[in-house]
Amino acid sequence: MKDPAEYKSLGKRSTMTFVADSGVLAGARLVQTHVDGELVSQPLPQVRFGKSETGRFQTLLIESLPDRKTVRELFNEGFRHISIFGVEDTGQYCASWKN
């Protein structure tokens, strides 16, 4: 068994995430970080597809997004409300879905 002094904090490398269960970000994946000495929740880079602006969303992390064909299928199934979090240039990102 390791001595407790040998254990080290993951620090900024921590990958613990959670899913918001209520509010505007319900269903969004979040990570807790320290900002100015306070613990805050920040959304991970993700895209949320919903059937209404307030309805239930299907959330996909940017790193595991499907191809354009699958995005079109979601759109055709009525998932026409899209929210993008954690992406700096959303216009350029959405342009990659065209055609």
**Residue 74 dihedral angles phi and psi, to the nearest 5°:** -60, -45
pLDDT at 83 over 60: yes
Q: Which two tokens stand for residue 62?
A: 């940017």
Instruction: State the pLDDT confidence band at 76, using cuts at 50, 70 and 90.
Output: very high
H or E element that contains 76: helix 68-76
pLDDT tens digit string along 84-99? 877 665 555 555 555 4
pLDDT at 51 over 60: yes
- The whole-model pTM stands at 0.61
pLDDT number for residue 97: 54
Q: Where are the domains of the chain?
A: 10-95
pLDDT number for residue 99: 47
